[in-house]
Chain A
């Protein structure tokens, strides 16, 4: 039986057990504040009493769909589908990421871009290509629309002048069209200058700095090509931006491998340092296979994630800021009941652009036939896009069809799934199960955090 309420310490192993897929039509959660039912269709969450919980548990275990439907109908609920099988049709481009530099000054062994070059020759994106990409981004934009332009690599700051020109052009076109454009960049931080800070601040960039831990932890995973560590350099370069952020937001993204599993310590240090938010992602696939997370590593990671999540709960209840991005996003999505047929916008509203001007499903598929989507000259290859969106729909994924978490997770990162499979389902479900119980507690303790309930008015 699902059981998080009775124990003080929630272990990852326990979470693996209670979050295991039993029925695709419902999931049951026991939290510190009560008993809860999740209906995956619409990701609707309910409080239930003990008797209802027991009946639902019995029906769930018996896998009797008819009995479940009858039981739910008696409660005014139903099993109707909120998401159909149809792929998204002719999505408009809403976001592009430009691989402005397919080269990097770091030599991270696990990098999906293979030290920046994606396995090919090192190259920069010519300005003309970047401007063509901006044209594509605004091609169908109308007044009031919002689009995002992001810069990735390799290390994008290797090609700083193109970033600046493309940003200025995008801002100019957006004001001509009455649209809004936001900018983002993912950088290793080693090349940041004060002038970059001024520029990012001026254009309100979301700056994401890849940092894999503190000192030694980071250095062993993210060394310069010559072998020396990069942590001290990154911190030295990022600190002025942290102090400068008003319009811009400077966040840290931690790629978690078996060699940097001290998440709580990392999170607290980065929050104290002043990052706008701090997020963690497990390394599920690297080109060489090195540092990929195994199930036992993921179990350790989940223990750490829950430890961070519990600190987040305490801080929110105390009314303090604690920008643990994974938790902030999970709370927002669970509260809204976000339900999705895809894990992200890749290949739909979001596309990657290579230095050569080829389009791909996302920034990870640069130069990769698996995610090819046309090019800047001929536009989005609608045939390939339809095929992608049809095949990648979560209803076409296995074993997602049997999983209660399918509309939260959307089937998992396309790149990781296509290249490695789904080694992290237990971890993802365990994390979401914990988040459901944390949400249930927090929405009772601090409804104002979620901003939409009047319970604390009087």
Chain B
């Protein structure tokens, strides 16, 4: 037995069999935390035919065909518009202005707006660093050394073959299935480990198995300690291998995290069971 939504109100309010409540627009997580639903930056990766860029950097991740040699180079200028800029400002509130960075990446949706408006679907002049550049670099004073070539700009929106007009959907060649969500922060693992205070993801223990001696001094474990023995608080410097790290949480959270009941690690068979 099948039923398929046909018009727009039906589509908007339809929850397909098996989908959780968060797939509805009114209950989606993006209502509360925009950015946890899709990572729109992924559409920029394939903006130019022949190369693949980083979603938030001018670094060439992949090259296809004759552009294979561009991997590791940086795209500095498109149709005359820069992709990086120097940043100037005070180091401290009220301090004097100085150069903070000589090459900061401009956000793609702003820096490419004019390019898309004027050149979508057409060839455009792209200028790359002459060499492989692992770190950001500014546009050199002498641009003659830059690698210059013509690349085709993909349009953001798909177009109807029938009417030739733009359709309100992302052009299919820009993103592969799954890519719009692929680079999201793994919301709960990252935030659960990282966030403190009252942020939504931080409802978790912090200092566990705490004993208080007669002098008012406590001993206990950091909640992230892989071993609870010895009972000591290992400060989190994001590198100490005695603590559960991000990778550990991504790969094996269900085995590493345990229940904490009334401040103590819970083990099955306890009297309190």
Which residues from chain A sit less than 8 Å from chain B, CB to CB?
Answer: 36-37, 39, 42-49, 51-52, 55, 75-77, 82, 319, 334-337, 339, 439-440, 443, 446, 448, 451-454, 456-458
B43: shortest Cβ distance to chain A, in Å? 15
List B contacts of A49 (CB < 8 A): 1-3
Top-6 shortest CB links A-B: A337-B9, A44-B10, A448-B162, A45-B7, A45-B6, A42-B9
In the complex, are the beta carbons of B1 and A51 less than 8 A apart? yes
In the complex, are the beta carbons of B6 and A339 less than 8 A apart? no
Indicate which residue in B2, B12, B15, B169 contacts A52 across the interface (CB closer than 8 Å).
Answer: B2
Q: Are A46 and B5 CB-contacts (below 8 A) given A457-B161, A458-B161?
A: yes
List B contacts of A339 (CB < 8 A): 9
In the complex, are the beta carbons of A336 and B9 less than 8 A apart? yes
List A contacts of B8 (CB < 8 A): 335-337, 452
Q: Are A457 and B17 CB-contacts (below 8 A) given A45-B6, A47-B4, A336-B7?
A: no
In the complex, are the beta carbons of A335 and B7 less than 8 A apart? yes
* A443 to B10 alpha-carbon distance, docked (Å): 14
13 of the cross-chain contacts (CB-CB < 8 Å) are A36-B6, A42-B9, A44-B5, A45-B7, A47-B2, A51-B1, A52-B2, A334-B7, A337-B12, A443-B6, A454-B169, A456-B160, A457-B172
Check B269 for interface membership: any CB of A closer than 8 A: no
* A49 to B15 alpha-carbon distance, docked (Å): 18
Q: Are A454 and B158 CB-contacts (below 8 A) given A49-B2, A52-B1, A77-B3?
A: yes
- The A-contacting residues of B in range 1-52, CB under 8 angstroms, are 1-10, 12-17, 19
B113: shortest Cβ distance to chain A, in Å? 22
Which residues from chain B sit less than 8 Å from chain A, CB to CB?
Answer: 1-10, 12-17, 19, 158-163, 165, 167-169, 172
Beyond A46-B4, A452-B167, 16 extra complex contacts between A and B, CB < 8 Å: A42-B9, A44-B7, A44-B13, A46-B5, A47-B2, A47-B6, A48-B2, A48-B3, A49-B2, A336-B8, A337-B9, A443-B6, A448-B160, A451-B165, A453-B167, A454-B167
* A439 to B6 alpha-carbon distance, docked (Å): 10
In the complex, are the beta carbons of B167 and A457 less than 8 A apart? yes
A54: shortest Cβ distance to chain B, in Å? 10
List B contacts of A454 (CB < 8 A): 158, 160, 167, 169
List B contacts of A458 (CB < 8 A): 161, 172
Q: Are A440 and B6 CB-contacts (below 8 A) given A457-B160, A458-B172?
A: yes
In the complex, are the beta carbons of A76 and B158 less than 8 A apart? no
Q: Are A44 and B161 CB-contacts (below 8 A) given A51-B1, A457-B167?
A: no
List A contacts of B14 (CB < 8 A): 44, 76-77
A301: shortest Cβ distance to chain B, in Å? 26
| CB nearest neighbor in A for B4 | A47
In the complex, are the beta carbons of A44 and B3 less than 8 A apart? no
List B contacts of A451 (CB < 8 A): 163, 165, 167
A193: shortest Cβ distance to chain B, in Å? 38
Q: Are A46 and B9 CB-contacts (below 8 A) given A456-B161, A458-B161?
A: no
List A contacts of B16 (CB < 8 A): 76
* A39 to B7 alpha-carbon distance, docked (Å): 11
List B contacts of A42 (CB < 8 A): 9-10, 13
| CB nearest neighbor in A for B167 | A454
A351: shortest Cβ distance to chain B, in Å? 29
* A440 to B2 alpha-carbon distance, docked (Å): 16
Indicate which residue in B17, B162, B167, B172 contacts A76 across the interface (CB closer than 8 Å).
Answer: B17
* A458 to B19 alpha-carbon distance, docked (Å): 28
* A439 to B14 alpha-carbon distance, docked (Å): 19
In the complex, are the beta carbons of A337 and B167 less than 8 A apart? no
List B contacts of A443 (CB < 8 A): 6-7
Q: Are A37 and B158 CB-contacts (below 8 A) given A76-B16, A77-B14, A336-B9?
A: no
* A439 to B7 alpha-carbon distance, docked (Å): 9
* A43 to B168 alpha-carbon distance, docked (Å): 23
| CB nearest neighbor in B for A52 | B1
| CB nearest neighbor in A for B161 | A456
B163: shortest Cβ distance to chain A, in Å? 5
* A45 to B10 alpha-carbon distance, docked (Å): 6
| CB nearest neighbor in A for B163 | A448
Indicate which residue in A43, A76, A440, A452 contacts B9 across the interface (CB closer than 8 Å).
Answer: A43
B218: shortest Cβ distance to chain A, in Å? 52
List B contacts of A55 (CB < 8 A): 1
| CB nearest neighbor in A for B171 | A457
A34: shortest Cβ distance to chain B, in Å? 10
Q: Are A44 and B9 CB-contacts (below 8 A) given A457-B160, A457-B172?
A: yes
List B contacts of A334 (CB < 8 A): 7
* A37 to B162 alpha-carbon distance, docked (Å): 29
B222: shortest Cβ distance to chain A, in Å? 45
Q: Are A75 and B3 CB-contacts (below 8 A) given A42-B13, A44-B13, A457-B160?
A: yes
Q: Are A457 and B9 CB-contacts (below 8 A) given A46-B4, A51-B1, A76-B14?
A: no
* A39 to B165 alpha-carbon distance, docked (Å): 32
List A contacts of B160 (CB < 8 A): 448, 454, 456-457
